[in-house]
Amino acid sequence: MNSCGCRMEPIGSFQRPNGEYVLVHRCLGCGIERFNRIGADDNFDLVLTLPSLPPCTGHEVKAQQWEEELDTELEEHGAA
């Protein structure tokens, strides 16, 4: 799934200005962070148990290249 094949651990979540919740996973191997938009079919209870992260757009842009393969929609809706 990610480049090095290590397990991704959920570390927190944040809410975008447009109201979307984003779940942040970090790779246990290389530390790469991945952002997954939370959909209706995702486990929102898990999100609520995780620490709330500041919505840091620069942070997100840095990781976006890793996200592209998963969710190209992020580019269209990217936080400005």
Beta bridge partners of 33: 26
Indicate if the alpha-carbon torsion angle 70, 71, 74, 76 is positive or negative.
positive
Q: How far is the CB of 19 from Zn ion (least distance, A)?
A: 30
Q: How far is the CB of 32 from Zn ion (least distance, A)?
A: 5
Q: How far is the CB of 6 from Zn ion (least distance, A)?
A: 4
Q: What angle do CA 51, 69, 14 make, to 5 degrees?
A: 15
Q: Judged by CB, which is closer to Zn ion: 27, or 74?
A: 27
Residue numbers of the site for Zn ion (CB under 5 A)?
4, 6, 27, 29-30
